[in-house]
Amino acid sequence: MLSPGDLAPSPTLRSLAGERHALGVDDGPRLIAFVEVDCPTCRLTLPYLNRLAGLLGERCERLVLVSQDGPEETRALVARYELAVPVLLDEALEASRAFDPPSVPALFLVGADGRIGSAHVGFHKADLNATAGALLASLGLSATPVADAHDGAPESKPGCASRHLSIATATGGAASPEPLDLRPERGARASRIEVSDSEDAYEYCIRAGFSGFLPVVPPTVDRVEAFVAAAGLAPERVIGLVPPCYGAATVEKIAANAVMAGCGPEHMEVLIPIVRAACDERFNLHGVQATTNSATPLVILSGPAAARLGFVSGAGVFGNVARANSTVGRALQLIMANLGGARPGEIDMATLAHPGRFSYCIAENHAASPWEPLHVDLGFAPDESTVTLFAAAAPMEVSEHTARKAEGVLRTIAATLSVVFSWRRCGRVDAVVVVCPEHAATIAADGFSKRDARDFLFENTGVPLRAFEHEGTEGTQSRDGLTEVLIDGERHYRKFADPYQIQLVVAGGTAGKFSAVIGGWLAGPKGSESVTYPIRKEMR
Amino acid sequence: MTTLVNPLDERAEASGVPAPRLERLEGSTLALLDISKPGGSHFLDRMAELLVSRYGVARIVRETKPTYTKPAPPALVGKLGFVDGVIEALAD
């Protein structure tokens, strides 16, 4: 592949209109993007290139798309993505051979001197922003990022082999018939269902399988339209594809499910980032929905938007305490079943499940917390608000009414932490600790910052080695990678691989010394990673 | 009359045609795909023995998914394109 500093070749290619154009630079810098029409990663990249074209405005000819496919398929791609950039065809793969990228998409930024300034393959938000920023800056335009870290797309994704390296292409192979869109921008409008006056719409919804077996508010056209209007987005806009069956969560479908769950229109503001987070690849809703484990997403709101939207963070936070908590959590569950397709006993194979499957949504009690909020802990500004999704088991309550010191409270919590997932399972586990205000006050009064408290829990949560003498029990198959430590003078394996596998959230009422430990599913990239999305107007 | 907005995924259910059944195992090449749950290898080791000794399978190819929590990566599926059949095994 050509590298920065190399002279960019200038083969002549045909446009879709059949005109011949030299690819090379004549009058300024240019970004050349090689794509294949059926490469999912190329299709993931195109909306960002379109955004760059919008930022380039009248200078959009500085961005050139080079298609490695024929005019017919390329024309369909241009129409599908409403591409507003010049497109050239490299059917003979002459340009592809000259630039020689191993895979596509491949972005070559060529300077005014005709030399390569940067070369990147695959989808990387950071590279896209850097390349787009450099092009915009070189043209005297503002270097606005084109890829938002929290738009629901992954940070990076490898591309497909460039066609000039593919044997199939050399023998006349071409695009596959049904290319995969990993992140379509628009989906189909929802159909309308006429329910006759002789039938109760409320009963119809239950019979039709819309409801998760609790009564629902019938999603009438008026109600759904009011929710779509509140979201301020087009009804056909796709927010995410919901695993495991990858139904499109359009704004309209999210609205219909939010209506059914009993939400108010104002809750669309928070449901949009919740659905984005649920469909984030790192969260792995595919596994969470299909596993025999009981895990289901716990939604944690942090920041000022929670109170503004009516979420309760105080007494009874896990219970039926507020419309927002109860209905937003339920809306996500309905979306997961109705659009994700995971129905109990079919694709959802949970052996037991748990009551969080009806609704599992809490807010952080900032007023009663001595520490910085969760969203600030995760790098967001104090005035921002976020939703965090965690693949969660049911809460295990921890009563500690006797300890008057931080260490006493934390040791009791650590004992419960030591059994999350399964007693001897260590390393690939994670947990949320919901610290009640009274416990948080006791811990903070001893000078413990939130980080100190988390570090203490990390250091003091373990499973005694003697537990591993019970051969043939869960966790004894392999002790590879486990860390041995002394806790209270006894040899233990550390329960958690990293302090950040324990998240602390302050919530609950100000009376009563009950905290809760919530075990996760399988932690990390091979299981489910907790994800946090901002509640922001600009990302909508 | 009440008009409702359909809240479900409305795509037609994907329908697939199963691959043709193998007429005989003797002389075939089979892949045993371990989904990487603990204990799966014990089951597959025995399966491999029996397939060769009792059914005359000519060659066994062993592959393992990187994690049982996610679908097999396309590259792994592609690697198994040459075999006559795949047995995917789950065990705990």
The answer, for A66 touching chain B at a CB cutoff of 8 Å, is no
Nearest-by-CA chain B residue for A247: B9
State how far the Cα of A159 lies from the Cα of A70, in Å rounded to an integer.
Answer: 19
Q: What is the pLDDT of residues A19-48, one digit of tens each?
A: 998 887 667 899 999 999 999 999 999 999
Band (pLDDT 50/70/90 cuts) for residue B14 is low
What would the mean pLDDT of B7-21 be, rounded to a whole number? 84
The enclosing H or E element of A338 equals: helix A323-338
Q: What are phi and psi of A443, to 5 degrees?
A: -65, -45
CB contact under 8 A, A522 and B69: yes
- Cβ proximity of A271 and A242 under 8 Å: no
* Range 3-32 of B in CB contact (< 8 A) with A: 3-11
Cα A246-A251-A256 angle, rounded to 5 deg: 90
Chain A / chain B CB contacts < 8 angstroms: 88
CB contact under 8 A, B4 and A257: no
CB contact under 8 A, B9 and A247: yes
Extract the tokens encoding A98.
């000259």
CB contact under 8 A, B1 and A197: yes
Collect all residues of chain B within an 8 Å Cβ-Cβ radius of residue A242: 9
* Range 32-91 of B in CB contact (< 8 A) with A: 38-39, 66-67, 69-71
- Choose, out of A223, A292, A335, A526, the residue to mutate when testing the contact with B (most B CBs < 10 Å): A526
Give the SS3 label for residue A514.
strand
CB contact under 8 A, A191 and B1: no
Collect all residues of chain A within an 8 Å Cβ-Cβ radius of residue B1: 194-197
Please name the member of B6, B66, B67 whose beta carbon is closest to the beta carbon of A193: B6
Instruction: Give A250-273 as a DSSP string.
Output: EHHHHHHHHHHHT--GGGHHHHHH
Residue A439 clears pLDDT 90, i.e. is over it: yes
Report domain extents, chain A: 12-170, 201-534
What would the mean pLDDT of A313-319 be, rounded to a whole number? 97
Residue A243 distance to chain B (closest CA, Å): 11
Domain A12-170 matching CATH 3.30.160.40: the answer reads: no
Question: How far apart, in Å, are the Cα atoms of A349 and each of A290, A390, A533, B22?
Answer: 6, 19, 28, 30
Amino acid at A392: A
Counts of helices then strands in chain A (DSSP H, E): 16, 24
Instruction: Give chain B as a DSSP string.
Output: -EEEE--S--SPPP--PPPPPPS--TT-EEEEEE---TTHHHHHHHHHHHHHHTT--SEEEEEE-S-TTSPPPHHHHHHTTTSSEEEEE---
CA within 13 Å, CB half, B15: 1
Mean pLDDT is lowest, of A153-167, A249-263, A420-434, for A153-167
Percent of chain A residues topping a pLDDT of 70? 97
Residue A430 clears pLDDT 90, i.e. is over it: yes
Residue B37 clears pLDDT 50, i.e. is over it: yes
